[in-house]
A and B are shown apart, each in its own frame.
Chain A
Amino acid sequence: MSELFLQQLLNWITLGSIYALIAVGFSLLFGVLNIIHFSHGDVSLLAPFLALSVISAIGSALGDAGSLGTFLLALLVAIAITGVIGVLLDLVVIQRFRQAPAMMALVATVALGIVLRELIRHLFPNGSNPHAFPRLVEGDVTIAGFTIPLFSVMVIVVSVLAVCALFFMLNNTRLGLHIKAVSQDRDAARLMAINPGRIFRATFFVASAIGAIGGLFFSSYAGMARFDFSIDVGLIGFSAAVVGGLGSMPGAIIGSLLIAGLDTLVQATVPNGASYRLVFVFLLVIGVLVFRPSGLMGRSLVEKV
């Protein structure tokens, strides 16, 4: 195994983990709400800007912008605020489209994504330009003679932990069971005294917070925060969820790894691959959906007659 190969492999899994953190949110929200929250990617990528704001706020208040403690605190605050923003968007906009035709909700959330990006541009100081975003951890570890960047290790470990926590929450806690009940049959759940509104809000918080982790990782991976990152990243996260099968968490992860794999492969092997990566990725998306119309792990669409 050559050094280069290992590097690409790590790159693949790192990128796949980041996409997966965003894709599971798309899938979770679709499973519970049965609508596409197209702006989920934009919500997720609010987090790096929120983190930068918190850092500078702490910096100006306490004169302590550089320490690790400040940085960690900023990340946690950013994740929490992003979760709350997700809930607020549901309360203000998305819940109005619960009964509407699917296309309405899709177009409305596309517009919502535009609004979120523009808000970053106008509200964040100098928001139109890229802002440097630090690597969360520097340095390498050596495992079995191979040098591995600590950042990749952290991204992969945290992503696995986050996804495991999500699975545990869905399968073993009261809230998780309620979420599953609502996603399977909203009316039946209501009869069992589950308040769907509360479940929707909880789902939005969880999905947005996990997406925020993905957003922070992505900015850290790219070394900067940009208001328009969410166009590509959001679209890829959405594609991963759809390719995997909307509503299926394992599907979202498989879809993310598949897309990240192709992305990495194209960039490593195709001449001028960086320009053509999206062409390959979206041809893959089309190809998968032609042969598996409801995604790789999706519930098949056998209609009850």
Chain B
Amino acid sequence: MAESLALPRDTSNPVVSALTVIAVQLAGALFLRQFLLIDDWRLVIGLLLLFGAALVLMERVPSLEARVEAAFARHSRLALLLGIAIVLAFPFVLEGNTYALHLCVISMLYAVLALALNFQLGSANIPNFATGASYGIGAYASALLALNFGVSFWLALPVAAVVATIFGFLLGIPSMRTRDSYLALVTIAFGVVIHQLLNNLEFTGGPNGLVGIPAPELFGHSFASPLVIFGQELPSQANFYYLSALLVLISIVFARRLHDSRVGLAWNALRTDELAARCQGINVTWYKVLAFAVDAFLAGFAGTIYAFYVGFISPDNFTFLVSVTIMTMVIAGGMDNILGVIVGAFLLTLLPEKLRAFSDYRILFFGVTVIVFLMIRPQGLFPQRLRRYGH
């Protein structure tokens, strides 16, 4: 039957498939741990080759990929619980390495940004070179609230997201009329305007930015102090690790629910053919603006956490290059594929950091990697998949 082509059924032993899930997740976690902890660039390259080999294997042997996928579909609950357990336990296996923990936090914030952009770029194919600007608006809005009005992190978080969303709507308005390259330029222009304003206005601190953003507190525990769990002391970055992990989880839930909803379908429809989408009754204009707003909303959250995490922000954290990097994460990871986008975000955050041996050549290397990647694997690491119903 044709059906079996599209819906791989797991016919193997349930124990085997459960073990597959466990093995794949543990292997992923182990890989990330080693990647974070090693210093020697030769080992970094070695691990990357290993990663590449795994991808090639998956592509060459589709039955293997299908089996892993089916195993995850069958044991989705196990996969979820184990995934959460791994994320919770991860800081404990980093040997108290604060730099590794720091990289995890930054990678997760970029994962949120990439997931945010994915609504637009992946689901609806709307170019947006201003996610970095929305990220900056969130960061500045919350930092200004905290510095000038003593607003706590927990209140600043939603307020900054709302501010970013309002700007997202504003940015979305031109998308009602412009398209493609023209829309791309509108978003680039918006990003430049925001960056220049942050750079020149007095109350944003000009090029020096804002300093002394206080660390958040929760039930009397300051996020600037070490985190003690079960008698184990973790560096202070662990506070933000768990906070960012929570935000990533929320973003994944958002992304999945929207993808599997009427809204996600409408975005996919206008991605392929705007006119045909209109002729199915989809208010294309509204859905485009909505995509901008959702992107800005999540980016605003990420910006707030970033501001309170590093304690100082400046316009140079939110440039056009940041937006381009986020776009690349989505494209390289796999448009409209949640796992792909997250992997893309981790890879492109960690890669330049891990190649510090080439310190001065990092940006060059980054540019070359992006080009080569787009040339040899334009569909991304994990291409988009068809939806399924009745599960």
A and B: direct contact (Cβ < 8 Å)? yes
Residues of chain A whose beta carbon lies under 8 Å from any beta carbon of chain B:
30, 36, 93, 96-97, 100-104, 106-108, 110-112, 114-115, 118-119, 122, 231, 235, 238-239, 242, 246, 272, 275-276, 278-279, 282-283, 285-286, 289-290, 293-295, 301, 303, 305
Contacts of B361 in A (CB 8 A): 118, 122
Contacts of A285 in B (CB 8 A): 185-186, 189
* Option from A111, A114, A242, A290 in Cβ contact (under 8 Å) with B174: A290
Given A102-B180, A118-B364, A122-B364, is A107 in contact with B328 using a C-beta cutoff of 8 Å? yes
A102, closest chain B residue (CB): B180
B92 within 8 A of A: no
Please tell me the number of chain B residues within 8 Å of chain A, measured between CB atoms.
42
B370, closest chain A residue (CB): A111
CB distance A108 to B374 under 8 Å? yes
List, sorted by A's number, 9 A–B pairs whose CB atoms are closer than 8 Å: A100-B378, A104-B374, A111-B371, A242-B181, A272-B200, A279-B197, A282-B192, A283-B193, A286-B174
B43 within 8 A of A: no
Secondary structure class of chain B's binding surface, majority of residues: helix
**What is the minimal beta-carbon distance from B181 to any residue of chain A, in angstroms?**
5
CB distance B181 to A303 under 8 Å? no
Contacts of A101 in B (CB 8 A): 125
CB distance A290 to B177 under 8 Å? yes
B196 within 8 A of A: yes
Residues of chain B whose beta carbon lies under 8 Å from any beta carbon of chain A:
121, 125, 127, 173-174, 177-182, 184-186, 188-190, 192-193, 196-197, 199-200, 275, 320-321, 324, 327-328, 331, 360-361, 363-364, 366-368, 370-371, 374-375, 378
CB distance B360 to A122 under 8 Å? yes
CB distance B375 to A96 under 8 Å? yes
Contacts of A36 in B (CB 8 A): 181, 184
CB distance A293 to B177 under 8 Å? yes
Contacts of B366 in A (CB 8 A): 111, 114
Contacts of A97 in B (CB 8 A): 374
CB distance B186 to A286 under 8 Å? yes
How many angstroms between the C-alpha atoms of A246 and B182 in the bound complex?
9
* Option from B189, B327, B375 in Cβ contact (under 8 Å) with A282: B189
Contacts of B177 in A (CB 8 A): 289-290, 293
How many angstroms between the C-alpha atoms of A101 and B366 in the bound complex?
22
Contacts of B321 in A (CB 8 A): 114
Given A111-B370, A112-B371, A276-B200, is A238 in contact with B378 using a C-beta cutoff of 8 Å? no
Contacts of A107 in B (CB 8 A): 324, 327-328, 331, 370, 374
How many angstroms between the C-alpha atoms of A112 and B180 in the bound complex?
20
How many angstroms between the C-alpha atoms of A136 and B342 in the bound complex?
51
How many angstroms between the C-alpha atoms of A303 and B274 in the bound complex?
11
CB distance A119 to B364 under 8 Å? yes
CB distance B181 to A301 under 8 Å? no
* Option from A114, A272, A305 in Cβ contact (under 8 Å) with B367: A114
CB distance A293 to B327 under 8 Å? no
CB distance A118 to B367 under 8 Å? yes
Q: In the complex, given contacts A242-B181, A294-B178, what are 17 additional A-B residue pairs having Cβ atoms less than 8 angstroms apart?
A: A30-B181, A36-B184, A103-B331, A104-B331, A104-B374, A114-B321, A114-B367, A115-B368, A119-B364, A275-B199, A275-B200, A278-B193, A282-B192, A282-B193, A285-B186, A290-B186, A294-B182
How many angstroms between the C-alpha atoms of A30 and B192 in the bound complex?
23
* Option from A106, A119, A242 in Cβ contact (under 8 Å) with B127: A106
B190, closest chain A residue (CB): A286
Residue picked from B178, B321, B327, most chain A C-beta under 10 Å: B178
**What is the minimal beta-carbon distance from B273 to any residue of chain A, in angstroms?**
10
Contacts of B331 in A (CB 8 A): 103-104, 107
Contacts of A293 in B (CB 8 A): 177-179, 182
* Option from B180, B186, B193, B367 in Cβ contact (under 8 Å) with A279: B193
How many angstroms between the C-alpha atoms of A257 and B133 in the bound complex?
28
CB distance B371 to A115 under 8 Å? yes
**What is the minimal beta-carbon distance from A30 to any residue of chain B, in angstroms?**
7
Contacts of A278 in B (CB 8 A): 192-193, 196
Contacts of A235 in B (CB 8 A): 188, 192
Given A103-B127, A111-B328, A278-B192, is A239 in contact with B185 using a C-beta cutoff of 8 Å? yes
Contacts of B181 in A (CB 8 A): 30, 36, 102, 106, 242, 246
CB distance A295 to B364 under 8 Å? no
Contacts of A115 in B (CB 8 A): 364, 367-368, 371
* Option from A102, A242, A279 in Cβ contact (under 8 Å) with B200: A279
